[in-house]
Amino acid sequence: MFRFAPYVCKTLWRHRLRSLLTISGSAVAIFVMGFIHSVQQGLDRMVQGEDAQRRLIVFQENRFCPTSSRLPEDYARRIAQVPGVTDVLPIQVWTNNCRASLDVVVVHGVPATRLPEHRKLRLEQGQWDNFTQRSDAAVVGRQFAQRRRVRLGDQLTFGSMSVHVAGIFASDSAAEEDLIYCHLLFLQLAAGQSAAGLVTQLEVKVDEQTDPDTAAKQIDEQLRTGLVPTATRRKGAFQTATISDLVDLIAYSYWLSLACVGLVLSLVATTTVMSVQDRVQEHAVLQTLGVRPGRLMRLILAESTLLCLAGGAAGVGLAWLVLQWGQFSVGAEGVAITLRPSAELATAGLLVSLGLGLMAGFLPAYQASRTPLVAALRQS
């Protein structure tokens, strides 16, 4: 089979402009597909996972943006009385943008000493002590740090507040690496006098035997007599509900990626059909020399597949570079989906282009192998 590889490559090279245009068109489409897929992957990562399923978020009822949810901090004590609840973490959330955005800044204010037990964070730079001992200190997720070029010891300014970067951390969860943690009290004070004693949300841990949804109901029940009514959900469900508009959009973007598939298919098929029509006589000559119809088909399929794979590889490579370099996170209302390149994404992109190449070449290849030789040779 590979004895004919030079023939296939030289044929593609002969029409290099045509090949190049087809490859770059496919590359763009595969790039867009990769990008869309990475948003979907980011969403999946956020919603699945142990924490998203087992932890609960208590939020003010009918509120969505973190700036509008205000719960008394001492709700934590009352929640702790609900059976099955093992721990409650009060969190004040600040975000630069409540609407959908590609560059979200989300700051979580938490009791500093309790952070390590609630989040599996590994400090890559800096020290925990420096964070806990300084009231305006913050630890920054490494994805955010990379995107905004933040370094240890920097002074970071958001809105009216300014924090000291005491550490940069890594986490197994991509979403965590996009966050900034600072002291709860610091963020409460920054939000103004009226915010003292109030938090945005409370994060609840329940024990293994307790069903999270049952506990959530009991918490809302328990707090119904309080000043502020609450809505409690699993963390994953809370996040999806918060960015539900975005989730819908992501669902629609699936159709966009299908359109990309169609685009690649028609592009490569058109090129292959053209190239086959140009060479009706050449293919008849090859068959006269003894090339079997099946081999002729494989030669044409090899052409279309090479074009498509080259486009796919370029698209995947481009997507990888852009995702790695841009460290994007798309989000709204203080919840962000992080976009990351992944081996799974790259493999999927290459497999899709392989499949598309075979599909695009099939019809022209079949036709070429079925053309009666004598009639084809007479076309001169």
Partner 1 sequence: MPLIEIRNLTKRFRKGDEVITPVLELDLDIEPGEFVALMGKSGTGKSTLLNLVAGIDRPDTGSIMVAGTDLTRLSRGQLADWRAAHLGYVFQTHNLVPVLTAYENVELPLLLLPMTSRERRNRVDFALQVVGLSDRAQHFPRQLSGGQEQRVGIARAIVAHPTVVVADEPTGNLDEETSRQIQTLLQELNRQLGMTMIMVTHDAEVASIASRQLHMEHGRVATPPPTLTATV
Ligand X SMILES: Nc1ncnc2c1ncn2[C@@H]1O[C@H](COP(=O)(O)OP(=O)(O)O)[C@@H](O)[C@H]1O
Q: Which residues pair with 165 in a beta bridge?
A: 138
**173: contact with partner 1 by CB under 8 A:** no
Among positions 31-60, residues that touch partner 1 (CB under 8 A) are none
Match 């969403």 to its residue by tokens. 43
7-36 footprint of partner 1 as x/- string (CB under 8 A): x--xx-xx----------------------
Strand ranges in 130-188 using DSSP code E only, listed in sequence order: 137-141, 155-158, 161-171, 179-183
C-beta of 248 vs 282, nearer to partner 1: 282
* Binding-site size, partner 1 (CB under 8 A): 25
Contact set for partner 1, span 340-379 (CB under 8 A):
372-374, 377
Closest distance between ligand X and the C-beta of residue 355, in Å?
37
Tokens of 301: 């399929």
**Which one of 20, 47, 65, 291 is in contact with partner 1 (CB under 8 A)?**
291
Write down the least CB distance from residue 294 to ligand X, Å: 24
**Smallest separation, CB 375 to ligand X (Å):** 5
| Nearest partner of 68 among 245, 250, 249, 231, judged by Cα | 231
Two tokens, residue 302: 């090899």
Number of H helices, E strands in the chain: 15, 14
Q: Which is nearer to ligand X, 217 or 378 (CB)?
A: 378
d(CA 181, CA 134): 13
Find tokens 């925990």 and name the residue. Answer: 128
Choose between 17 and 227: whose C-beta lies nearer to partner 1.
17
Q: Which does 291 bind (CB under 5 to 8 A by kind): partner 1, ligand X, none?
A: partner 1
* CB distance 316 to 264 below 8 Å: no
1 versus 374: smaller Cβ distance to ligand X: 374
Backbone angles phi, psi at 365, to 5 degrees: -65, -45
Q: Give yes or no for residue 97 binding partner 1 (CB under 8 A).
A: no
CB 339 within 8 A of CB 320: no
Interaction pattern, residues 356-375, with ligand X; x per rule: CB under 6 A: ------------------xx
Minimum CB distance to ligand X smaller for 289 or for 374: 374
Cα 69 from Cα 9, distance rounded (Å): 63
Smallest distance, Å, CB 372 to ligand X?
A: 7
Q: Which is nearer to partner 1, 47 or 291 (CB)?
A: 291
- In order of 11, 163, 181, 182, 200, the CA distances from 131 in angstroms are 64, 11, 10, 8, 22
How near is the Cβ of 380 to partner 1 at its closest, in Å?
A: 6
Alpha helices in 223-243 (DSSP H): 235-242
* Closer by beta carbon to ligand X, 26 or else 287: 287
Q: How far apart are CA 254 and CA 177, in angstroms?
A: 26
Using an 8 Å Cβ cutoff, are 30 and 316 in contact? yes
Q: Kind of pairing, strands 71-72 and 198-199?
A: antiparallel
Nearest to partner 1 of 170, 274 (CB atom): 274
Least Å from the CB of residue 285 to ligand X: 17
5 binds, among partner 1, ligand X, none (CB under 5 to 8 A by kind): none
Q: By CB under 8 A, is residue 282 in contact with partner 1?
A: yes
CA–CA gap between residue 111 and residue 228 (Å, rounded): 22
- Residue in 215, 191, 369 with CA at minimum distance from that of residue 297: 369
Q: What angle do CA 144, 146, 152 make, to 5 degrees?
A: 90
224 vs 378, which CB is nearer to ligand X? Answer: 378
- Compute the least distance from the CB of residue 323 to partner 1, in Å: 38
14 binds, among ligand X, partner 1, none (CB under 5 to 8 A by kind): partner 1
For residue 150 the two structure tokens come to 């933040």
Q: How far is the CB of 376 from ligand X (least distance, A)?
A: 10
Residue choice 92, 95, 173, 287 for contact with partner 1 (CB under 8 A): 287
Summarize as ranges the residues that interact with ligand X (CB under 6 A): 374-375
Summarize as ranges the residues that interact with partner 1 (CB under 8 A): 3-4, 6-7, 10-11, 13-14, 281-282, 285-294, 372-374, 377, 380
